[in-house]
Structure 1
Amino acid sequence: MPHDAAPAAPSIPVIDVAPFIAGGPAAGDVVRQLEAAARDTGFFLVTGHGVSPEVTDHLYTLARAFFDEPQDWKVGQGREATLEGGVSFSPLADEALAATLGLKTPGDYKESLNFGPRLKGGRWPAKPDGLEQAFVDYFAEMERLARHLRRAFCAAIGLREDHFEPCFDRHLSALRVINYPEQDEAPLPGQLRAGVHTDYGFMTILRSEASPGGLQVRTRKGEWLDAPNIEGAYVVNIGDAFMRWTNDEWVSTPHRVANPPGDRKGSARRQSIPFFLNPSAETVIACLEPFMRDGKAAKYEPITYGDYIALKTSQAFSKA
């Protein structure tokens, strides 16, 4: 490198996964790109994924219609938490994600609808019509993409292609649509749209959108990078449970959703759709053999995913 050349700025890689899904000659190159991203940043964008844009847009539109309803009606929806496969609504400032990292902040400036086929929720709201089916259809799209990515991760680690599949029998994955409303008043001190956190599970697949005040990822040097927005691409990141499985060699990276700048022009409302891929409650998270080669010891004792997620969730929703 020339003496006067500046080092390349850190960035979040964009990976076309179509050759791996198709099983073409370039599949190995996709695997190498995924492994490098998992080790270096824990975040990457995927294109060529095959997710239906029609299914995606339909969920986005119906969820937005729900969030446009009056707040006093919304807070009464999905509150029973007794129905498997029901829906739950989390109102503004109900969750403080930074608490999972030991940070005390005001509740995050967002509201969300949450669903998982094997998670407890309440009755689906009567409006907008078709909301439940839109969640179910999009969930199925994410399951298909997640299976492809799991196979690629196995190839990168040196495991059998189906190594993780028993862990995702009756998996506890969750689909969430998040609404970040306009901030017509200044946020409280320390309050963000979503406080700094890492995700709890295996991996997250996010459909996001461009708007002032968006997703930011913290590099190993402590710098905050704005996640790029590419039409049709999905943001993927490694979760805490997967990082633990890899003996911390693949990284679950802290990230946040920033507030829009105070001098913005136009709308700063934002809506995102994260799919949290989580194993079954009985799955034991224990260091994978390839990450204990050359005499390396496992950093963590085995733990079931059910115990692990219970601890993380209690931290996030603690009011103490």
Structure 2
Amino acid sequence: MPEIFPVIDLTPWFEGGGDERAEVAKQVDEALRTSGILLVTGHRVPSELRDRTRAVAREFFRLPADVKGRSSIAFGGRGWIAPRFAEAEGYEGTASMAPDLKESFSFGADRVTGDDAVDARWFRPNTWPAEVPGMRPVVTEYIERMHALSDELMSLCAVALGLGADFFASYLDHPTYGFNFNRYPPVDPTRPPAPGQFNVAPHTDFGTITVLDREPGPGGLQVYTSEDTWVDAPYVPEALTVNIGDLLARWTGDRWHATRHRVLPPQASAPQDDLISLVYFYETNHNALIESMEPPIGRTSFPSVLSHEYLRSRLASIAPKAKH
């Protein structure tokens, strides 16, 4: 397995002493300085919960389109996003690309702040389709697990940067986040992908860390390397895939990299593949001020940004454009 995709066991972080925790932190720093992506085992997210969450996702996606349409949303909302709906922007917004082939169901943070304007944008109620009554309890449990793991990973990141384990805590006591079921459908002979069309177009994530539970398949995740090549990300059944987003890259002054990645379209070599990914996008408190860390941690000084303003601008850059 290429070293650009290290598999890091978190067990010593959870159960070990100072030296063991420091060694895990060292491995994380090395991975995020070189590739921006790693696989973690020993994460304490039960496999049966992952299986149950994927099962309710499949139950929803199997519904007829008109039934799923009752949960349909505009871009950036909470609910179902139909296949080929969202326009994908080229990396850095330089080129318009064909719509992603995936279909999704989106959730987000819903613990209100009491500020109506803030809550309407960042802490809206989630959509729970009546046709899948088991969705709410399972997804709620999964999100709670992902939130706890992400907080732990941010503590680990702080130690990896030579900071106290609680450095990020005050930025994360009422965070925004997103959670998606992404379905990557099988080959459709009646609607082949357009040239250059993907299940998920090349992009970097926007927030702090992303925790991905995925299924194997030839139409899967690829990562852009420092050698300017696309390579398949390895699959380890018990592992979760973790990468950082642009906000954390800015925060660390580009010590760590937000890695460009994509999901290939359906492949002729596996025409029946029908894959489900569970994707948790962690961010910060909506009003967190993100300032680049100074040397020797940081290497580049970015202008300070408020988390919600930065995320809003990035989301606007990939929103579907009106057709004229």
What TM-score do the two structures reach when normalised by structure 2? Answer: 0.88
Q: For the structure 1 residues 233 and 122, does the alpha-carbon distance in structure 2 shift closer, same or farther, using more than 3 Å as the test?
A: closer
Contact residue 115 and residue 135 of structure 1 kept, 8 A: no
Q: What amino acid maps onto 2:303 in structure 1?
A: E
Residue of structure 2 in register with 1:271 after alignment = 276
Q: For the structure 1 residues 9 and 80, does the alpha-carbon distance in structure 2 shift closer, same or farther, using more than 3 Å as the test?
A: closer
Residue of structure 2 in register with 1:199 after alignment = 205
Deviations 1:14-71 (A, max 9, x none): 1111101113342221111100000000000000111122221111101100000011
1:243 aligns with 2:234: no
> Partner of 1:231: helix, strand, or coil?
coil
Please identify runs of 4+ aligned residues in structure 1 that moved more than 6 A. none
Residue of structure 2 in register with 1:108 after alignment = 100
Deviations 1:258-280 (A, max 9, x none): 12332x14522111001001111
- Count the aligned residue pairs: 306
Q: Which of 225, 233, 238 does residue 231 from structure 2 map onto?
A: 225
> Counterparts of 2:303 and 2:272 in 1: how far apart (Å)?
47
Residue of structure 1 in register with 2:176 after alignment = 172
Q: What amino acid maps onto 1:179 in structure 2?
A: R
Residue of structure 2 in register with 1:4 after alignment = none
Q: Which of 296, 299, 302 does residue 301 from structure 2 map onto?
A: 299
Q: What amino acid maps onto 1:96 in structure 2?
A: E
Q: For the structure 1 residues 10 and 51, does the alpha-carbon distance in structure 2 shift closer, same or farther, using more than 3 Å as the test?
A: closer
Q: For the structure 1 residues 309 and 105, does the alpha-carbon distance in structure 2 shift closer, same or farther, using more than 3 Å as the test?
A: same
> Counterparts of 1:19 and 1:307 in 2: how far apart (Å)?
37
> Counterparts of 2:231 and 2:9 in 1: how far apart (Å)?
21
Q: For the structure 1 residues 9 and 169, does the alpha-carbon distance in structure 2 shift closer, same or farther, using more than 3 Å as the test?
A: closer
Q: Which of 14, 19, 40 does residue 7 from structure 2 map onto?
A: 14
> Counterparts of 1:15 and 1:225 in 2: how far apart (Å)?
20
1:79 aligns with 2:83: no
Aligned 1:28-107 pairs, distance under 5 A: 28-77=22-71, 79=73, 87-99=78-90, 101-102=92-93, 103-107=95-99
> Partner of 2:27: helix, strand, or coil?
helix
Contact residue 32 and residue 256 of structure 2 kept, 8 A: yes
Return 5+ residue gaps in structure 1 as ranges.
1-7
> Partner of 1:26: helix, strand, or coil?
helix
Contact residue 99 and residue 315 of structure 1 kept, 8 A: no
Q: For the structure 1 residues 80 and 179, does the alpha-carbon distance in structure 2 shift closer, same or farther, using more than 3 Å as the test?
A: closer
Q: What amino acid maps onto 1:211 in structure 2?
A: G
Contact residue 84 and residue 99 of structure 2 kept, 8 A: yes
> Partner of 2:194: helix, strand, or coil?
coil
Residue of structure 2 in register with 1:208 after alignment = 214
Contact residue 211 and residue 270 of structure 1 kept, 8 A: yes
CA RMSD of aligned residues (A): 2.1
> Counterparts of 2:224 and 2:194 in 1: how far apart (Å)?
22
Q: Quick one: percent identity of the two aligned structures?
A: 32
> Counterparts of 1:193 and 1:92 in 2: how far apart (Å)?
9
Q: How far 1:290 sits from its partner (Å)?
A: 4.9
Contact residue 79 and residue 122 of structure 1 kept, 8 A: no
Residue of structure 1 in register with 2:159 after alignment = 155
Contact residue 59 and residue 138 of structure 1 kept, 8 A: yes
Contact residue 101 and residue 200 of structure 2 kept, 8 A: yes
> Counterparts of 1:247 and 1:80 in 2: how far apart (Å)?
34
> Counterparts of 1:166 and 1:31 in 2: how far apart (Å)?
20
Contact residue 79 and residue 121 of structure 1 kept, 8 A: no
Contact residue 77 and residue 122 of structure 1 kept, 8 A: no
> Counterparts of 1:52 and 1:292 in 2: how far apart (Å)?
35
> Counterparts of 1:292 and 1:233 in 2: how far apart (Å)?
29
Residue of structure 2 in register with 1:316 after alignment = 318
> Partner of 2:38: helix, strand, or coil?
strand
Q: How far 1:212 sits from its partner (Å)?
A: 2.2
Contact residue 167 and residue 279 of structure 1 kept, 8 A: yes
> Partner of 1:11: helix, strand, or coil?
coil
> Partner of 1:162: helix, strand, or coil?
coil
Q: What amino acid maps onto 2:251 in structure 1?
A: W
